[in-house]
Chain A
Amino acid sequence: MEKKPQSSTEESSIFDKKVSRRNVLKTAGAGGVGMLIGASGIGGLLSLSDTTVTKGETIKDVIPFYGKHQAGITTETQNHLYFASLEVTAGSREELIQLFKDWTEAAAAMTEGKAVGDHSGNHFLPPKDTGEAAGLSPSNLTITFGVGPELFEKNGKDRFGLKGKKPKELKDLPKFPLDSLEDKWNGGDICIQACADDLQVSFHAIRNLVRIARGKAVIHWAQTGFQRTKQADSKKETPRNLFGFKDGTVNPNVQKETEMDQQVWIQSGDGADWLADGSYMVVRRVQMYIEVWDRSTLRDQENTFGRHRDSGAPLGHKNEFDKADYNKKDENGQPAIPTNAHMRLAHGDGKQQILRRAYSYADGMDPQTGSFDAGLLFICFQRNPEKQFIPMQQRLAKNDKLNEYTVHKGSAMFACLPGTQKGGYIGDTLFS
């Protein structure tokens, strides 16, 4: 691969990170100057000699944790994901509320690049923060919490007095044709999505939140995810999936508030008012048979997606963002975009939209077959899954040519909670 010369903007953004790193250490009280140099090496030295901290204005890689909505939904997709689905073991509602309060405090600190808890000098205690993110920039970390159907009711039991609050949309997805779901990748009482431009930063977040939850919740399943990094793709093109195709071209515009209110954010009056400003999240762990894909012809591959691999343009069109003409015929009089192509079926009549926020995953080898266990951790957000994801997936599961190359192994739905303001906690509208 060709190395592009570093642009000056890139340099300055890297510089900003050093500044924030220093600032972070100071505010976290994690150590003195010697510690800073030790922890960040030459970077630390640079930041000490060449820049002054100007009250946080230079920090460009912090996504505010507090707000009307949780971050990590309409936030520009970061490079890495660590996703955890948890099972709640807490015995009481009070314990659960305390857990969300503790999580809120820790998550808010971590997204600012701060350590979890105060630094204790007592050598007979384990450190409060696990430490692997010390000295690292906040890396645009977002931490997004969601609740699953069984938190409200499990085996007919109202576990935490929440049954009456359960939105009717929040339930296991229906079984779609060809689903090959495994319990170990399904469901969960609570999900935590930690996205950041650094995988160590995302892992640190999940690790510390799971640690805080010991005795109250345990991991049910977890998955790392990646995309091409921003550094590798300075032109910010649509990312490609592991089949080599651009993925997410038709995502709604997250900059347009009205569009987000229509498609993504639950509105008051939709059903569960406590969930207003939250969003329904669908997660599917889709294993891709990449070995099989790799031996299919380019024409087959393009017909499968309905797009040109190179440009990302719809078949029979020139540019990636050309509006697809689904009536267009090829030279043989056949539809240019085949009737079973992924993009045609996903589009349907164009009425359903979802906000896709998927990541690729690569988990070593599938021990059963010796093939790669790689694929897509499909994540999408929407205001109403019954009107958005479910009808789309029903069409896809029935006819999508892509099904020859993929298998759905995991499935979960969560209601991502509304955001909260300083002093409040994530989940406060659920428990109040």
Chain B
Amino acid sequence: MTTWKAPLAVLLSTSLLFGCSQSKEDASAEKEKESAPAKSVAASSKLDGVTAKYREYALGEIEAFVTSTEEFTNAVKSGDINKAKEVYGPARMHYERAEPIAEVFGDLDPKIDAREGDVPEKEWTGYHRIEKGLWIENTTKGYETYAEQLMKDVTLLRAKVETVEVTPELLITGAVDLLNEVSTSKVTGEEDRYSHTDLYDFAANVQGAEKIYQLLNPALKEKDEALSADIQKRFDNVYNLLNQHKKGDGYKLYTELTKPEVKQLSQAIDALAEPLSQIGIVTEES
């Protein structure tokens, strides 16, 4: 969660804080934009197959998310707190993998995934609301209605994602956005601040980004073999680190990580995201 806030925040900051002296620059930026689409349209036909495959992947994840959410909300509704806690982390992973698509719906994303303080208290629903009940109040009582609502919202999401048009741009920006999510909220332990299951979300975001990389990789290799190899190496490095923090089928709690371990994870994401941000070269004509 959080990127649903981003477009608004970016808009506000550019217009209010930095906007005063930039009109000319904006104008020249506009000009550049005019020439850019011609290029990318030509290249995008090559990427049609890729977008279809990604759509299939993301829909599959959302499908699985419906199932896992059902399991989670049923546990909450039936008062099985241990079960609810057990499935909370893994259930969310499907959502986190498919975030570039799931977040297209600016109304549903906050309902499902807002953290405390992201929205007014009265409107706060979804996974993290129930998370607080489970871990802070140590109860499911009073959270049945939230579970009910969550299931409805996730079902609606499933129906809506069918309508998303997957463009090459969504993939290119989506891959890095997933890692930016890791950098700004997972690696800081803010995402799952009560359950401390942040590493599940962390891993899922990385997997989601890797999927996009794999799909674009044939086109990328044609452009820049070395870049492709570098990205793969950086993914491997992140997975190596994550594997050191495995516990049973899942991951250690965020609170079990030492400060140097957190820093190492954060820097591994930076080292991966930098070359991954070059993946947009696949839009260029050779």
Partner-B contacts on A (CB < 8 A): 31-32, 34-35, 37-39, 41, 89, 121-126, 211, 214-215, 218
Contacts and interface: CB of A to CB of B under 8 A. Distances in A.
A124 B283 contact: yes
B277 A121 contact: no
Which residue of A31, A38, A89, A126 has the most chain B CB atoms within 10 A of its CB atom? A38
A38 B22 contact: yes
CB-based closest 5 A-B pairs: A38-B24, A124-B280, A215-B271, A214-B274, A38-B25
Interface residues of B, number: 32
Interface in B215-271: 230, 234, 267, 270-271
A215 B22 contact: no
A41 B280 CA distance: 33
B39 interface: yes
B-side binding surface: helix, strand, loop or mixed?
helix
Interface string B19-46: 0011111111000110110011000000
A37 B234 CA distance: 41
Contacts of A34: 24, 27-28
B129 to A, nearest CB: 33
B284 interface: yes
11 contacts: A34-B28, A37-B24, A121-B36, A123-B280, A124-B172, A125-B277, A126-B277, A214-B271, A215-B271, A215-B272, A218-B267
B28 A38 contact: yes
Contacts of A38: 21-28
A37 B33 CA distance: 20
A122 B21 contact: no
B278 interface: yes
Given A123-B36, A125-B277, A32 B28 contact: yes
B169 interface: yes
Given A123-B32, A123-B280, A124-B283, 9 more contacts: A38-B22, A38-B24, A41-B21, A122-B280, A122-B283, A124-B169, A126-B277, A214-B275, A218-B271
A215 B267 CA distance: 8
A211 B274 contact: yes
A38 B27 CA distance: 9
B159 interface: no
Contacts of A35: 24-25, 28
Which residue of A32, A123, A214 has the most chain B CB atoms within 10 A of its CB atom? A123
Contacts of B284: 122
A126 B179 CA distance: 15
A123 B21 CA distance: 22
Contacts of B274: 211, 214-215
Interface of B: 21-28, 32-33, 35-36, 39-40, 168-169, 172-173, 230, 234, 267, 270-272, 274-275, 277-278, 280-281, 283-284
Contacts of A211: 274
Nearest to B36: A123
A210 to B, nearest CB: 10
A35 B169 CA distance: 27
A266 B234 CA distance: 39
Given A214-B274, A215-B274, A122 B39 contact: yes
Nearest to B43: A124
B271 A31 contact: no
Nearest to A135: B25
A121 B36 CA distance: 7
A211 B273 CA distance: 11
A125 B36 CA distance: 11
Contacts of B281: 122, 124-125
B283 to A, nearest CB: 5
B221 to A, nearest CB: 17
A124 B230 contact: no
A44 B266 CA distance: 40
Nearest to A39: B25
B268 to A, nearest CB: 9
Given A121-B36, A124-B169, A214 B24 contact: no
A41 B271 CA distance: 36
B207 to A, nearest CB: 20
Given A38-B23, A125-B278, A31 B28 contact: yes
Contacts of B25: 31, 35, 38-39
Nearest to A41: B21
A191 B28 CA distance: 38
A126 B276 CA distance: 10
A220 to B, nearest CB: 11
B32 A121 contact: yes
B21 to A, nearest CB: 6
Nearest to A119: B32
B26 to A, nearest CB: 8
A176 to B, nearest CB: 27
A211 B275 CA distance: 10
A125 B283 CA distance: 9
A35 B21 CA distance: 11
A348 to B, nearest CB: 41
B208 to A, nearest CB: 19
Contacts of A124: 40, 168-169, 172-173, 280-281, 283
A214 B270 contact: yes
Nearest to B282: A124
Contacts of A214: 270-271, 274-275
A122 B36 CA distance: 6
Nearest to B40: A124
B187 to A, nearest CB: 14
Contacts of B27: 34, 38
A37 B25 CA distance: 9
A34 B39 CA distance: 24
A126 B281 CA distance: 10
A343 to B, nearest CB: 41
A215 B275 CA distance: 9
